[in-house]
Structure 1
Amino acid sequence: MKEHTSNGGEARLKRIVSADRDALPPDGGPGFNRLVFASSPYLLQHADNPVAWYEWGDEAFARARAEDKPVFLSIGYATCHWCHVMAHESFGDHEVAAVLNRDFVAIKVDREERPDIDDTYMRVAQLMNGSGGWPLTVCMTPDREPFFVATYIPKHSRGGMPGLVEILGRIAEVWKTRRELVHQNCTAILDSLRNLSVAKPGEIPGAEPLRAARSQLAGMFDPVNAGFGQAPKFPMPLNLSFLLRYGRRFGDPGATVMVVATLEALRRGGIFDQLGFGLHRYSVDSRWLVPHFEKMLYDQALVAMAAVEAFQATGQESLREMAEQLCDFVLRELAAPEGGFYSALDADTEGEEGRYYLWTPAQVRSVLGETEGELFCRLFDVTGKGNFEGANILNLPVLLHEFAQREGMSPENLEEKVEGWRLLLLAERAKRERPFRDEKIVTAWNGLMIAALARLFLAGGGERFLVAAEAALVRILRDLRRADGRLLRSIHRGEGEVPAFLEDYAALLHGLLALHDATLDPRYREEACSLARDMLRLFSGEDRGLYDTGNDAETVLMRSRVDYDGVMPSGNGLAATGLVRLGRMADEERFVEAGEEIIRAFMAGAGRQPVAHLQTLMALDLLRGPQVEVAISGGSRGKVQGMLAEIGKRFIPGFVLRGEPDQGRRATAQVCAAGACHIPVESPAALGGILDRVLDEGYPPPQQKP
């Protein structure tokens, strides 16, 4: 996995950014290409390539049309390891650049800045090749119609894989001599894309698709190592969130067991940074030992949310501690000084993947001393042989209390030692060259992180989590919103102009609702209503379901509606969930109806492939499942917070919170569930007792609609 790259690095990016762009010609001049004028960190990483890159836009396609050349599109992101490898091997190479500059018009796209472009051509990759990934390589006509798609391509042929130089030569020849074949491919691909983009409506069902999804997940579950499937293995937080809801709704402890086992395996594995916390992207093996070392903001947010909910469902303190560790990593490593959160940390340092995180026994002993160092090495699986290319990825093969018993120590003494060791080694690690940090602030990912922080605070986490969540919202509404109120997708160094997508609006709505529940501040409910109205106006069409791009934004090939989940929950699924929750909270039936229409729009697809539509199924569960309404009236902020803390201890998926603090009145809380309202109570303990009774009585569902 060691690959020398020249593409990352804070210093190199700062050199590019510090160039006097006002003094440069439009093509970047002799030292740069046109990407020197970009705002995306990923594009800036390629601004000194010899390839004459363009940003995506009319200028590039007009030139391709005028010169009758195909377009070479490369899609990636700033912390992508194999993007770095291809950049070093090919895009920084003058031989490859000469071919691209002669026979193609080359365009670079940051998938995180333009998910619409990435989604469109990734679907083409899956149609043509059965799979996709990054870097995504596409050749297309000047009309943006694709006819060749691949992922990483080495410079020259090796191991049966054709090389980029050879592929470019063949494509250029076919373009010149067999243009009719190119157009035939384009027509077939576009027809298939149109079929994929059609919504597949169905009736709102009962519990059948929920049960089918649970059954599929049980079949995918790894009973030995936990998690779902085999290598490469991803955390799959949507699986966890769905199973928690299923376990609560149907009284299914087996569903909850799969969640807890997976979170515990993640926490002990090499996929979890045992010193600095934070979760790496995925594990290349089935045991969670060897990660792909990049760290993404959305992974921290989604897994932290699942861990908070698992704590609420089980009362297991270690799960809340895991959520706190993930969020503390974000606050330490990804928080922007002005508020909000950066996107990611790279996998590579000093030209090698994972180097920043690896240890040898000698390195550990040099910091902790012989005796303590040996104990640390036994606990965290650090050996002379190593578990990764001669060095060691820290992991916990045995539980702390088991290790303490084996070593004749008390668990409390061991925990104290582990924290001391962690801080000492973390300080030593900080002296190493740090992974590149993508300082792009993405609205959708911040919305999810805001939600996770607010939910963690509500569940008993520290005040720092609420402070960070509120500061992030202030940043988004101030710096990622135009004067006309239109949200932006992202900014980097204060620059950004791409209009936000459906997932941005839906994820930010998610964050606003979580902040409302954590504070009962009416400002968050009002902002959520305004955002929901804008979302419905911008992304609705003639048919059911919402489009991924706004009606005021560019359409790439065709306006699409993605209903299936990827690394992020689907925008439509998030929107449906948020609209149903908001409608009930704000007593706005039109929002509930809009959420129901989204669910209906994609129910046929969700019925056929339940596991691919878990966010939509969670929206269905919210719509048709049991509701527990709590109305809190009066009271100071402290009194209200005591009431909210009782709610935060419990996992109640169909929870609806209403009310506003009023210091002129005594705080009271009233619970309504299963068609009956309980007598208002004035103490948090009394509220907790009622909630426990409601949950113990089986959380009965309301009458089903006909």
Structure 2
Amino acid sequence: MTQGNRLGEAISPYLQQHRDNPVHWREWSAEAMAEARREDKPILLSVGYAACHWCHVMAHESFENAGVAAIMNRDFVNIKVDREERPDIDHLYMTALQAMGEQGGWPMTMFLTPEGEPFYGGTYYPPEAAQGRPGFAQLLEAVRNAWDTKREGLLRSAGEMRTHLRGFLSASGAPADLPEGALEEAAGRIGGMIDLELGGIKGAPKFPNAPYLELLARSGFPGGPEAHRAGFLVTLRGLCEGGIFDHVGGGLHRYATDARWLVPHFEKMLYDQAQLLRHLTIGWRATGEPLFRQRAFETVAFLRRELQMPGGGLAASLDADSAAAHGPASGAPMEEGAFYVWTEGEIDAALAGLPEIETFKRCYNVTPRGNWEGKTILERLGGSGEAAPEAFGEARIRLFQARAARPRPGRDEKILADWNGLAIRALAEVGAAFHHPDALLLAREVFHFVTTQMMREGRLHHAARDGRLSGPALSGDYGAMIAAGAALFAATLDPQFLHTAHALAEALERWHGDGEGGHFMTASDADDMLLRPRSDPDEAVPGSTALVVEGLALLAQVGGRQAIRTRAERAAALAQGRIGAGGMAYPGLLAGFDRLQRGSELALFGFRSNPGYGAVEAMVRGHVDLNRVDLVLNDPDRLPETLALSALRPERYPAVTLCRNQTCHPPVFEPEALRSLLEGGTAAS
């Protein structure tokens, strides 16, 4: 029997957290499957991630327990997976878990045959039986007994599940057009779920639900239902003012446990920051509200300060838990949110001598009793109106300095290509909209890291840490990075970004194409999966198929190559053939369809010194159309020859033209003509 815990050399910080468990953990591999076959044992698969609170709880209760570990080591081959490092494995077995009638979540606990076929599963299990759930050791004994005495039935059930998964996750389908009004119908249903007083989906807990929010904005701007615009904006304000946003250090927590955005689950994920930045840009362009600009700048600063790694890439997350702020740096108990919450006494001490201390406490709801478990989560939901969002600069600096002395939350330092791609695109859009040079510089640095340090022989990899790479990229990595390159080109007109995006598009087809115009999540040479899944549904971020469609569609807009647009249309049509009428589960794909159907390209020609330039630029920025790509330039020769806009030579500046379906309107020069062009372009859609 092979002994020992083998996670010591893992790239994933989550797996490294389990390197000292008495459990004989293995990383996911063909070798681990072979060990299970050789020893005739079922596989216990445990999936989680570094910032997952309940993953830590189960680890402490069960995986650090010598008695539980002894059962696991005797009866199972134990495999630990970081869902962020291997989202394909997580997607496959989470789909199986839900098909078994269980509610998904993490940690995910699955039992597999030595061939990797799932036959039983769940999520968190307590150490002792509680609330109708078996204790973990009790469960282990029951599964092993069933394996020994009822194996034929388990294998039959596992085989049926494999067939179901192949049909659900890997099957092809005939291409189909998006049903008439599908986006409007889905947006209407989302709009009906929005809490128009507090924002977000009605009730608790409240997640940002970024793909839903994106679809609401697409429907509402520029001239859609006012209720959809209102739902988008009230949600965005809730995210900006609630305790879900870190008012001292910037950045968005993962979700709120209540209905008011007050009490967050304190982990911070890179993908949330990326999607928030894009939505803040939309909100500011639509309203000009200083709140959205301020939160965008604070989030950019957070990314630079807290998540950027040496070399340029962005780390995946910050943990929810840290050592208790009042305890010693070592040996203190780990508490959720300890780094972020305050007592009134701590606030008073940090802000002593500031004349605005009482106003600060009123605006941020600081009271002797606190607003959460006797402590205060800083928030502006009630008193934000009496001070501008950028107010209290000195107070927040003092609190930041006081907080810096506390034990910090752990950081998951692996760099993920898809999440970094989402962040690059968002930073490029922030840089262009706000004329924010550091956002653009950060976008360039991150893009350079991913496309140099995470590429080998022209092939992208999914994760990197400490100079090491994990396995090959997934299709979503390519989609997100294609969009990142396209967005950076739109923001800078630097041709290197366009060139790299096209190279990534070719690599996507080589490694992930299914031969019909669609894409599998895993690469063609993947040899450690039960099957090659697609990834059509969205989770907290758009699924891989949506990222591919959006990336290719955006690249076609900025590069003008019809072949790329044809690929995007084919991938979208095949996806529609697979998903049928279930658009609500696929808002990312609906957004990609929307871009393909209503996309347009606008060029603003001129110099800032030109009379009237500022008014023209402000009108362009204020007319929000999520399907329009804006290119700001003074030299038409900087555009690719394949782009229809490149043929235009305005006789004077400033000038604006709008192209749709490779047909361009003549340039306009005056604000009224520009307003008519923008509104006409919308109406024509």
State whether TM-score is above 0.5. yes
| Equivalent in the alignment of 2:475 | 502
Matches within 5 A, 1:61-460: 61-197=33-169, 198-201=171-174, 203-205=176-178, 207-248=180-221, 250-350=223-323, 351-369=334-352, 372-401=356-385, 404=386, 411=387, 416=391, 418-460=392-434
Q: 1:667 to 1:372 in 2, by over 3 A?
A: closer
| Aligned: 1:474 with 2:457 | no
| Equivalent in the alignment of 1:55 | 27
Q: CA deviation at 1:317?
A: 3.4
SS in structure 2 of the partner of residue 630 of structure 1: strand
Matches within 5 A, 1:23-38: 33-38=5-10
Matches within 5 A, 1:631-646: none
| Equivalent in the alignment of 2:627 | 654
Aligned residues of 2:557 and 2:600 also touching (Cα < 8 A): no
Q: 1:699 aligns with which of 674, 682, 685?
A: 682
Gaps of 5+ in 1: 1-25, 405-410
Aligned residues of 2:211 and 2:540 also touching (Cα < 8 A): no
Cα distance in structure 1, aligned partners of 2:454 and 2:210: 27
Aligned residues of 2:363 and 2:383 also touching (Cα < 8 A): no
Aligned residues of 2:253 and 2:266 also touching (Cα < 8 A): yes
| Equivalent in the alignment of 1:489 | 462
Q: 1:537 aligns with which of 471, 491, 510?
A: 510
Aligned residues of 2:505 and 2:552 also touching (Cα < 8 A): yes
Q: CA deviation at 1:223?
A: 2.6
Gaps of 5+ in 2: 324-333, 639-648
Q: Which 4+ residue blocks in structure 1 deviate beyond 6 angstroms?
A: 635-639, 641-646, 658-661, 665-668
Aligned residues of 2:522 and 2:532 also touching (Cα < 8 A): yes
Q: Which amino acid aligns with 1:348?
A: D
Q: CA deviation at 1:173?
A: 1.0
Which stretch of structure 1 is more off in the superposition, 100-109 or 610-619?
610-619
Cα distance in structure 2, aligned partners of 1:547 and 1:211: 28
Cα distance in structure 2, aligned partners of 1:671 and 1:171: 67
Q: 1:443 to 1:691 in 2, by over 3 A?
A: farther
| Equivalent in the alignment of 1:18 | none
Q: 1:40 to 1:103 in 2, by over 3 A?
A: same
Q: 1:606 to 1:305 in 2, by over 3 A?
A: farther
SS in structure 2 of the partner of residue 573 of structure 1: helix
Cα distance in structure 1, aligned partners of 2:470 and 2:211: 30
Normalised by the length of structure 2, the TM-score is 0.90
| Equivalent in the alignment of 1:572 | 545
Cα distance in structure 2, aligned partners of 1:253 and 1:363: 44
Aligned residues of 2:553 and 2:568 also touching (Cα < 8 A): yes
Q: CA deviation at 1:253?
A: 2.1
Q: 1:185 to 1:700 in 2, by over 3 A?
A: same
Cα distance in structure 2, aligned partners of 1:610 and 1:568: 15
Q: CA deviation at 1:377?
A: 2.5
SS in structure 1 of the partner of residue 78 of structure 2: strand
Cα distance in structure 2, aligned partners of 1:290 and 1:687: 49
Cα distance in structure 2, aligned partners of 1:661 and 1:81: 52
Q: 2:527 aligns with which of 538, 542, 554?
A: 554
| Equivalent in the alignment of 1:12 | none
- The C-alpha deviation readout for 1:326-349, integer Å capped at 9, x for no partner, is 222111111113112111000001
Q: 1:166 to 1:609 in 2, by over 3 A?
A: same
Q: CA deviation at 1:397?
A: 2.8
Normalised by the length of structure 1, the TM-score is 0.87
Q: CA deviation at 1:679?
A: 4.3
| Equivalent in the alignment of 1:671 | 657
Cα distance in structure 1, aligned partners of 2:98 and 2:438: 43
SS in structure 1 of the partner of residue 339 of structure 2: helix
RMSD: 2.7
Q: CA deviation at 1:604?
A: 4.6
Cα distance in structure 2, aligned partners of 1:688 and 1:549: 50
Cα distance in structure 2, aligned partners of 1:677 and 1:70: 62
Matches within 5 A, 1:33-44: 33-44=5-16
Q: Which amino acid aligns with 1:311?
A: W
SS in structure 2 of the partner of residue 602 of structure 1: helix
| Equivalent in the alignment of 2:642 | none
Cα distance in structure 2, aligned partners of 1:202 and 1:236: 28
Q: Which amino acid aligns with 1:699?
A: T
Cα distance in structure 2, aligned partners of 1:689 and 1:325: 36
Q: Which amino acid aligns with 1:89?
A: E
Q: CA deviation at 1:625?
A: 1.6
Aligned residues of 2:205 and 2:256 also touching (Cα < 8 A): yes
Q: Which amino acid aligns with 1:46?
A: H
| Equivalent in the alignment of 1:612 | 585
Q: Which amino acid aligns with 1:671?
A: T
Q: CA deviation at 1:520?
A: 1.1
Cα distance in structure 2, aligned partners of 1:431 and 1:629: 49
Cα distance in structure 2, aligned partners of 1:546 and 1:601: 10
Q: 1:646 to 1:533 in 2, by over 3 A?
A: farther
Aligned residues of 1:459 and 1:649 also touching (Cα < 8 A): no
- Paired residues, number: 655
Cα distance in structure 2, aligned partners of 1:621 and 1:224: 28
SS in structure 1 of the partner of residue 684 of structure 2: coil
Which stretch of structure 1 is more off in the superposition, 617-626 or 69-78?
617-626
Aligned residues of 2:30 and 2:528 also touching (Cα < 8 A): no
Cα distance in structure 2, aligned partners of 1:196 and 1:258: 33
Aligned residues of 1:120 and 1:556 also touching (Cα < 8 A): no
Q: Which amino acid aligns with 1:395?
A: E
- The C-alpha deviation readout for 1:608-647, integer Å capped at 9, x for no partner, is 22221111111111111252443859x89999x9998875
Q: 1:358 to 1:339 in 2, by over 3 A?
A: same
Q: CA deviation at 1:680?
A: 4.2
Q: Percent identity?
A: 38
